[in-house]
Amino acid sequence: MENFIVSARKYRPQNFDAVIGQTSITNTLRNAIRKKQIAHAYLFCGPRGIGKTTCARIFAKTINCENPGNNIEACNECESCKSFNESRSYNIHELDAASNNSVDDIRNLIDQVRVPPQIGKYSTYIIDEVHMLSASAFNAFLKTLEEPPAHAIFILATTEKHKILPTILSRCQIFDFNRIKSEDIVAHLAYVAKLENVNIEPESLNIIAQKADGAMRDALSIFDQMVSFSGKDILHKTVLENLNVLDYDYYFRLTQNFIQHDISSSLMIFNEILSKGFDGHNFINGLSNHFRDLLVCKDEVTLPLLEIGASVRDQYLKQTVNCSIDFLYKALDICSFADINFKSSKNQRLHVELTLVKLCMLTMPANETEEKKKINKKEEKPSSNSPELVRNGKTKYEPSTPSIGRIINGKVTSAIEPQDADQGQSLAEKTRKEKQIENFSKEELMEKWLRFAEMMHKEKPRMATTLKASNPVIKDDFSIEIEMSNKVQEDDFNHMIKTDLANFLRHELKNDNLKIVTFVPETNKEKSLYTDEDKYKYLSEKNPNINKLKQRLNLDFE
């Protein structure tokens, strides 16, 4: 029975041309060999499975090749290349720093470095996961790394560059490897599938590439897993089920429901997703990525950021036409909030369902029920001749100035309409003529006052406490006087909540002449904040030694 070799090893690159996604690094290494400017120490860093150790082996093989080609590739015919290909070369030494991380291990390596190579010019020492070395081992390695024998070359590989001592970094040429693009992984997987006579759809390869997250080794391992499960014919449905990946179709259907404000269908789709064993948190993350991809499709400049297959790309381009940028921004914000608060939620299913409801409500216009309430409210209003509405010869009216929320939601195009259709006069003129001016009692004021304080409790607890502790006084001109303890408190009150409080009370008490006046009693004004001199005088009276210390050190106030 023939021994099985996993694809990650079987199709491991054997020359620089075969390395995928690291062109700039392989070109730099080739030029160094061509110009004979080979450094004594290199550091290859980057995520897992992207070719760090592979490039180190190819580099070690190429520098000892006796007949490199014009493109600086090993010939695979000389004795050095043959010994490397047959895994019997004594010029290349690999050390796993994860299990050989002590000072004694490094001392053994230093002793080994002194021995010159049997064939070729260089002995290459590849130390994988070098960040696992202990601090003592790093220090023992410093001198040899800085001034090794002429034949010794060190290639250090790590996934966690930040854990390596700066003294080590300063002695190496550093190469930062990139994550491999999805399209490059898909192309390589298609090449491997063709050689292995495996039938698999491009969309399935794209899902494998996304699951691998830029790591070629992970992608090849997943590919082998699919082949082991399905044989030579791999169905798209099988890939989705085995990798626990939600089909794109769910996200397209949900987005269509959001646009159509179909809450019921959205909740039923989510129920179907849960019934198939998918986690709510992964669903929210997938939905966020879907909105991100739709946003990317909005502009041709950002379209290359869409790392998906051609058929699904067409679906994204089709759906993004029906999604406004404003909708996508708000949808991403809602999904981000749901993602952050998912784990802390006690009812996680309800948390996701509320998110779906919010998404359905994003572009929903003012519903019919609210409009009917407004119409009924207007019909119930007595005529302007009613004695209850006449105050000081002026008539109560419904304020015409739109709220900020209505302006933001696009329900009002302008804060003041140019012309009133019924009366033929501007609303600004109408507002000046009509005002709500109703009397109110101290009890009514305190009821609204304390309600506003409760509303401010979470957002501005300090101001809420100030409101609850205050005793507002109603004056003849409908002004509300509030006594403040000091100037600082008065400034904070005026800056933070005075305007909001006044607007709230005018609306609730139906009096547009209402205003809020703050004052600090004269006795309190005298109690100003302590100056540095006051503090020093007080402390020196308590402890005379402070004055001696000031004189001895020749201290003074700035």
Write out the CATH class of domain 248-361: mainly alpha
Distances (CA, A) of 279 to 252, 272, 283, 285, 343: 18, 12, 6, 10, 12
Residue 24 belongs to what H/E stretch?
helix 23-34
DSSP state string for 26-47: HHHHHHHHHTT---SEEEEE-S
Closest of 14, 90, 76 to residue 51, by C-alpha: 14
395: number of Cβ within 10 Å: 16
The class that CATH gives domain 7-176 is alpha beta
Is 557:536 a contact under the CB 8 Å cutoff?
yes
| Neighbouring residues of 433: CB distance < 8 A, sequence distance ≥ 6 | 394
Query: Pairing state of beta strands 390-391 and 394-395?
Result: antiparallel
pLDDT of residue 534: 67
> What is the reported pLDDT for 506?
86
Distance separating alpha carbons of residues 74 and 67, to the nearest angstrom: 7
- Which pLDDT score, from 0 to 100, does residue 432 have? 43
What are the extents of the domains in the chain? 7-176, 182-242, 248-361, 368-433, 442-525
- If we measure between CA atoms, which residue out of 197, 293, 277 comes closest to residue 240? 277
Q: How many other β-carbons are positioned within 10 Å of the β-carbon of residue 181?
A: 15
Half-sphere exposure (Cβ direction) of 511: Cα atoms closer than 13 Å: 21
In CATH terms, is domain 182-242 a member of 1.10.20.140? no
Q: Is the pTM of this model over 0.75?
A: no
At 536 the pLDDT is 74
* Helices and strands counted in the chain (H then E): 27, 12
Name the architecture of domain 442-525.
2-Layer Sandwich (3.30)
Helix axes 461-469, 442-455, angle to 10 degrees: 160
The single residue listed with the structure tokens 């063709």 is: 194
* DSSP helix/strand/coil, 481: strand
> What is the pLDDT at residue 523?
67
In 243-347, which residue ranges form alpha helices assigned H by DSSP? 248-259, 263-275, 280-296, 310-320, 325-341
Cα 58 versus chain centre, distance: 37
- Burial status of residue 5 (CB atoms within 10 A of its CB: 0-12, 13-18, 19 or more): exposed
pLDDT averaged over 10-residue windows placed end to end, the chain, 558 residues: 78 90 92 91 92 92 88 87 86 88 89 85 92 90 89 93 90 92 89 91 87 89 89 86 83 92 93 89 92 89 79 85 90 93 91 94 64 49 41 41 46 42 44 67 86 83 84 85 84 85 87 86 60 72 79 70
